[in-house]
Structures are given as C-alpha cells and as structure tokens.
Structure 1
C-alpha cells in the first residue's frame, strides 16, 4: 500500500473513533473499516478486564476453524500474544509465527482455516496503559512487512487513545450520576421526608385529642397512610444513596433489609472483590427483591447466597413466602422483576426466577466480571 493510501485509511479511522462513544461498537467499527481498506481479510480484538482476564470484543471474517461454536476457540484459554501482553513483554506489533489457537483447532480437524495460519498481533495502548490486542491476518500470508506492522501500530495507538477516552468519559458520567443521586436523596430527606414525619405526628396528636370515634378513626387512617409513605420514602432514599455500601455489599443488603423490617440470612462463598459496576448491579437487584418480599411474600425472613468465582459471581435470593404462579415463557409479572432481568442482561449475565404458590420465590443471577 502506498503512503497516500495509509494516510487516507488513518484519517477515516480517526473520524470513526472521534464519533463513537460506546466501546464495543467502536472496536467493531474500526475493525471492519481496517479490513475493508487494506489487504487483510480477518481480524479479532481482545480487551483486558479489570480482574486481569480478557475477552473477545470483536471478530470479523473468521474462518470456520475459529468461528465455530460461537468462537469458543478464541473465547477460552490463553495464547502467546495474550500471555506476553499480560506480563508486559509485548511492546510493539509482532509477527506470530505459530498461533496456538489456530494450531489447536486444526489438530482437532475443527473446520477449515481458509489459509489463515499466521497473524500479526498489535498491543492496544495509550502511554503506559494497556487495553488489549488487535490481531489481523490474510490467507497464506506468512509474514508482515515492517511497513505493514508500523501502519498497524499507528492504528492501534489511535484505538488505544479512543478506548481511554471512552472509559474516562464513562467514569465521569458514573461520578456525575452518583452526585445527582446524592443530591436528590438529600432533597427528599430534608423536605418530603420531614413533612411526612410531621404529618404522622400531627395525625397522632389529632387522634389523641379528638373525643369523636369517627374523627379518631380518620386520624388513625391518616397516620397509617403517612407512616406507609414515610417507609416508602426512606426506601427510595436508600435506593438513591445506599448507606452502608461503602462497608460492603453484604452489609448494605442487610441494612436495607433491616430498614424494611426483614431479616437477611447470608451464605457467602469466596472472597468478595468485585468491580464497582458488578457490585452496583447486585445491589440494585437486591433492593428490588427485598421490596417485592416486603410487599408480596408475607414473611419477614429472606435468604441470600453469594458465590464468588474467578470470572463470575452467582447471586441467589429466596424467600419461603406465599409465592405465585409463574411461567417463564410469558411476560415477567412486575416492573420490578423486569428491571432485575434488564440489569442482569445489561451486564451479559443470566437471570432466573422460580416461584410456586405456598413454596416461595427464588431469584438467581449469574454475572461475569
């Protein structure tokens, strides 16, 4: 490829990177544009995770040997390039003479490689920060020239800078969201919460002072409704600003349950060290589950099981309440349950609900991290 062609491709990729605000669509888009504008036919991208793992973020025009079974040969295990990246030995674009993943599937006769035997691997980085790998290949291409590797490095640096920008933007948005939640929680506590508390006291005073039984009954009803509204308001404030989450997920859930008048029994397996987004998701799911138990289950005890594994967390909440008829082929029964399912799927997790009359309800969530 000529220098002018290189510059044009870099310009087009830079424009795409500047426009995109979501990580995975950005990676997928730039990979497609790169392959379309060059002589390379196949590519895939690994991104590093906070816990030291990695995942397949994008893949384009893979041969059957690599694409079969939903790209399991790329999604499972490590290889030379990933190992070198993680131990900080992969510093620049490199020719991979032997690809462990390709060799492995070919030995098992797992489909055709379509001439893809070797590939180039390029670290995605910005300064000293490593974000992942870009791998590209072409049929029967055994070696990438120095010019090609330098060109791929230029693209990889652009991708790395874009990844850093997107992640910083997301982090700023999360901070802004937390600050807004805290502000709303303060406003609700200082204004509405105090008014409801005053209404409760006023209704109680009216009940005590009135000699008329009908008036006393009216004041008693007002007091009960105000107390229910006060409980709902306190629960809403907890949802906006969960006191205790800074002490850990389990303590926050137990504290929220106590506020609702529920006793939470906890069974824990593994060490809790979860990414903040995973912890936040489990916390929000717990709130919905405890709210539903308080309103519908007719029991005061709830049982929580948390199992933390190397790359995923299993989270189960159950009660032995009245339960209900549930058919998983039909629409979920409440907005709260639908919200739990949506939160789980947004994290690429699995959501399951089981319930029968007089047998209670079980919510089981599995989240990768």
Structure 2
C-alpha cells in the first residue's frame, strides 16, 4: 500500500509536432510539414488544452516549460509569445520559470532568436547533431556544419545566456576522431550545456527498417571515453548519462523528469505525470494526430489514454529516471515521491549493491560507474 504523497515540483511540456522533413532516426511524434504551418489554429488548441489542464494542476506552481517537437522554432516569435502569454493567464507559471524552446539550424529560425527571447523564452536547445556535412546528410538533416555554428552564434548575439547543443555519436561510419571533432567545435562556441547521446535504432523509424552500419561496441567505447574526457576537461560536468553542464546550468525541466517530478503536457502526443495527495500517480497521453488533437483540445477526449502507476511498478519507474543521474538520489526522496518504504526496493537493491552496481550507502540510491555502464542490467534487477 502506498502512503500519502507530497506532490513534487511541476513542469509543463508543450509539443509542436511539425518538421521540415522527418529524420530517419526520429521516433518522436513529428510530422513533415505539408503546406502552410497552422500556427494560429494550433496555438488556440494548445491554450484550450491548457485551460483544461488547469483543473488538474489545482493551482500548483509550474517551475519549468519545455517546448519540444518536431521543430518548435518553425513557429513565429509572435505565436510563441502569444502562447506563453496565454499560458500565464491559465496556469500558475512561476515568474522565474525556465522556458526552453527547441530550435534547429538551417530553416531560417536563427533570425527569430531575438523575438523568441523577447517573447519570454530564456533557454534554447539547438539540434546540431553533428558539424560534419557527410554525417548530417546521412542523418537526414537539412543544415550544414557552418550553419549549425552560425545558429549558436546567432543565439548568443540575440542575448541568450542559456544554450544547449545536441550532439549525437555512434553515427554510421563515424570514427572516434570525427566524434571528438564535433565535441571540439561545440566547446569552441562556449556553450554551457551539451547533450551528447548515442544514436540508437528505434522501432518505427527508417533506420530501424533499413539499419545502417554503426560503430561496434569497442569503437563506441573509444568514442565515449575520448569525448567524455574532452568535455570534462573543458569544465562541463556530467550530471546525467547523456547531459553535461557548467555547474548551475543544468536543465531544470529535465532534472524534474529524472527526479520523478510531475509534469503537465499539452500538444499532440504529449505525455504527462501527476501525483495525487491521496497516493495515486497517474500517467496520461494526448491524441497523437495533430488534426484530431486540434479538434478535441479542451475536452476530455483530447486525452487518448491514462493509467495509474501501481505501487508494484513504482520502484522501477522511479529508478529508470533517478539512476541516470550521476549523483543519484536519496532514499528519503524516493520514499517521498513514490509513497513507498525502503523495503519496496528489495530484493533488487541488495543484489545491486552486492554486485557493485550501486553504492552501499543505505541513504543513497546511486549507480556506481559500473552500474551506469551497465544500466539496463542494473534496472533489470528491479523488474
């Protein structure tokens, strides 16, 4: 039986699903744009949805907003500003909230960065993926390496002080030297946050259907080790499996995910998690098709599915997120956010510690270096 829950911090995810074209590795709910972008109609739908979500929020303060996609920077600064103004009218958005917008180089969005900043966005996440033309072409990206660097510089000139650069490694045919060169170019731009994640072949993607040849495990280990050493040497600290930041520049919104926090979601296919004081933790997701979502937004039918996370499921659900953090979390936090006792994490916890996959401090839930390397095996002990 789960105990009474103290609701954790609350964030808001906003999904804008359109891209110029669908990348062959992408398994997100994104759609190649056909015709004119319906930004006015879609923004209106988002705000109807936000009005409906306000009841579930119950006046709780929202500490972060993440506008993802798709390619949200296809939307005009005016549309983003109107969206944020409307959200403030409907939800208890903290005046100091972190507000992140995803942007891609090469589609003209860089010229909108000043407008996004004026609209209230205070953090940009730029989807560079690589600075090398042949890899960008293989990934289906529409920008070149120079355009990627120019986009970061444009964001800096516009006044953005918080910028993340997304890089992928383990690309088809990629060498350790090429992966390291991508890292070097990102660091030379002076970014404060770097997301450096391995390409994986996800079901439902073009790459999964027609797999490219990827670096083998030994090559991947060499790439990871070389890049990690270089990023750390530049003063960025790894705080999550794939995330590095100058101290104090960590992504607050993603930290809330990894700490099993709560989050509302609006937009086609958006996923939410909410904790209730009486002990329920519920996940919901919205209709995936943009046109259907627009028609139903603001009604109960916009929610395509929902389910409670049962007490038996909570240890794994919690650890799938928390063990990605290099610093882990505390047992006290785990108990507060799951409503469970420490005994609920057994026998997996004792076995993980026996194998050297988790630290032995009884007050901590933290993977060792070995545990982070074999994270899937570690999580398997809690299934």
Fold in common (TM above 0.5): no
Q: Which has the higher contact order (CA 8 A, sep 6+)?
A: 2
TM-score normalised to the size of structure 2? 0.23
User: Taking structure 1 as the reference length, what is the TM-score of the superposition?
Assistant: 0.24
